[in-house]
Structure 1
């Protein structure tokens, strides 16, 4: 796929300047969770780390709709921006924001009071349940701020601005870094202060960082006269054109479904891991943390390919799609492949950032080495799916990913668990990533390349004709 195309150097430079801030953003986003886990693991031990780690699949499931809306909104905004239609950019953003706020408020109101019984239903061990419930309750109560934060970073990237999300995530990480140790252990000055909150303190630090970052974003966008600044015109767009809502739903729902099913699959795997106790759960959380950093370049490159492709489609330059795709593939091999090699070389020191128990460290290192190599294949599949989605082709890329998760990852993990025990669970990840790449490539070559590509945005209503 790559051999017949030479690297377009101007495009490669643009791609690089676009993708580097996005990679920085994704790293900072992961760093926020990593900081919490390092503090929790080092200050409170493996049981507390397990309590925080158990909420990760739940959080992943809850934000799936926002990820879907953000992905669909970024595609539409990219096409509108490529066409030079600034008004349509704000209409799309307003529609996505209105839906996100409603969803965030519903999650906070409906799930916060019942999170304890839900975690018990998912089989959380009794010795971890109280701490996990306290952690999850705080996170759920502040979901609207997290959802707005996530959505804004997606939409801002749609207009080609990857620097503002990077700065926003830097603010979030800084606030979390400053607050987490004090809220875990407590602080008193002159007889006044905050009591020790334990593992819930890490959740409070994350929640306060979301609030502060959303406030910072709103202020920055307003001061810059940004295309997505929050003003009266933007707020008026919260009552959107029904056609835009349907289009956002059509683009966003498959992505949300895929994210949600991924989260459910993670819960299924976690259910297998939980049978081996808190050390195994801690290893699971640490593997997810390290694996996330290795995946960030692949995810960033795919998002960049999607946005640049959407802008090219909006501008009527479909001849740019092939160079964008090939540039993305080359970047995936260089960036993701390089990090995979680094991950193998430094697996033990990386794991020791989160875990101090030698037996758990050894288990985590063995598991990490099972899954790392397949992230390069995952990146290739993400690039192909991203370009197809930029043109509105969302159903089949989603079905391929969902089918690989349900029909390959979970069964292979279950079979591996039966044969190899705990470590066999992680065989499902490389099997899934390789399956996705193979089927996405087949669909891309045999179907998508033969279809016409055009803008998705509905035409504006004709202005009424005034008569004398």
Structure 2
């Protein structure tokens, strides 16, 4: 699972390194300006993926393969209903949205071009995200590993080729990263469909899973997925707000924001992996009626987070100057970015504990309360602290706000788990 998450981020990280080294500071800033917008759109698919993975996990635990395929087919149709309008109509709003976020004028044209290409590729990006999540729901974490390995390798080769114009290819600048990502994801999806059919995988497409859209499955997916999507959207909106603050400090600050996000995505691999694994294992146990296994799954997840996430955080502190230097070639900007990264790194351990707790609770469909508490931490702690401290001490205050939000969320999730969720039996979903 962790290797899969590593590969999921590797493509973006490698693209960022190529852009930073070959095109410079303004190009990194242009790509960074679009990240929260993409994450806002992706939030809906993360919610659908979460709901589908929980339902598939319980159906798989109960041995009901037909229900597994019905849930998967319904989830794919729902994803297409979300992503196609974004791809078709989202481009029109991008220039105004990027301007409203205060994107520095020097990077705005490149940011718009990159954003339009990535938005057009949303159906491919979202479909890959969904099918890898559903694969984990049936206990198959290997297929996502291979498909993302293929996507990363293709992107690694294509991005510099399009930037430098190798073999007579056009030089496409910042757009190279977007085009290589979309092409790599599309080819990887085709490979996955072939691979699953050859293996007779439970999710293998046969006229794309064969079962028709099922309203009852859609309702169940939305019951779990919408709160999760709301949680992700609250993160995305907070990122948009905080990026607006960052952009006020100039191109260097925007580039630093992008570089720090890339490194934080690597440090958070254990967080994502442990949260997803906790949900999958707990949903299997609940679906099979083995409710006594949920407690040990939680305890193991909390201990593993301390060891694995703590190790990643320690390594990031040691390697921060070298890691930042991969993205930012300007010495003064890189030094400032390292200081900002040091402010927030330690709090990723707290985020990991929160992810395990909420992952366990999500396994029986309990999503509204954890999501609401998370949104409280974001809106009433993270963003206000960032605004207040940015006004008082400048750019470092924004990253102190992130750490404060992680700490508040852990306290709220632990309180709800201990005082409410653990006091009642876990429930099976239909």
Greater CA drift, 391-400 or 224-233: 224-233
8 Å contact from structure 1 (residues 316, 454) kept in 2: no
CA deviations on 1:406-452 (whole Å, 9 max, x unpaired) are: 00000000111011111111111110111111111111011001122
Give the deviation of 1:185 after TM superposition: 2.1
CA deviations on 1:357-400 (whole Å, 9 max, x unpaired) are: 11111111101110011111110011010100101110000001
> Does residue 223 in structure 1 map to residue 198 in structure 2?
yes
Could you tell me how far apart the structure 2 residues matched to 1:429 and 1:77 are? 33
How many residue pairs match? The answer is 430
**Counterpart position of 1:205:** 180
> Does residue 118 in structure 1 map to residue 97 in structure 2?
yes
Could you tell me how far apart the structure 1 residues matched to 2:133 and 2:358 are? 17
Runs of 5+ in structure 1 lacking a partner?
Answer: 1-21, 458-468
Question: TM (normalized to structure 1)?
Answer: 0.90
8 Å contact from structure 1 (residues 309, 321) kept in 2: yes
Output the aligned Cα RMSD.
Answer: 1.0
> Does residue 80 in structure 1 map to residue 59 in structure 2?
yes
> Does residue 295 in structure 1 map to residue 268 in structure 2?
yes
**Counterpart position of 2:127:** 148
Q: Which runs of 4+ in 1 moved over 6 A?
A: none
Max Rg structure: 1
| Equivalent residue for 1:244, pick from 196, 213, 217 | 217
**Counterpart position of 1:319:** 292
Give 3-state SS (helix, strand or coil) of 1:236's partner.
coil
**Counterpart position of 1:134:** 113
Give the deviation of 1:117 after TM superposition: 2.5
**Counterpart position of 2:304:** 331
| Equivalent residue for 1:29, pick from 8, 13, 18 | 8
Could you tell me how far apart the structure 2 residues matched to 1:121 and 1:367 are? 25
Give 3-state SS (helix, strand or coil) of 1:63's partner.
helix
Could you tell me how far apart the structure 2 residues matched to 1:233 and 1:421 are? 52
Question: TM (normalized to structure 2)?
Answer: 0.98
Could you tell me how far apart the structure 1 residues matched to 2:205 and 2:190 are? 11
Give 3-state SS (helix, strand or coil) of 1:215's partner.
helix
**Counterpart position of 1:385:** 358
> Does residue 439 in structure 1 map to residue 412 in structure 2?
yes
Could you tell me how far apart the structure 1 residues matched to 2:207 and 2:8 are? 30
8 Å contact from structure 1 (residues 171, 213) kept in 2: yes
Could you tell me how far apart the structure 1 residues matched to 2:256 and 2:7 are? 22
Runs of 5+ in structure 2 lacking a partner?
Answer: none
**Counterpart position of 1:61:** 40
**Counterpart position of 1:13:** none
For residues 344-423 of structure 1, what are the structure 2 equivalents within 5 Å?
344-423=317-396
> Does residue 451 in structure 1 map to residue 424 in structure 2?
yes
| Equivalent residue for 2:72, pick from 85, 89, 93 | 93
8 Å contact from structure 1 (residues 78, 311) kept in 2: yes
Could you tell me how far apart the structure 1 residues matched to 2:29 and 2:279 are? 35
**Counterpart position of 1:108:** 87
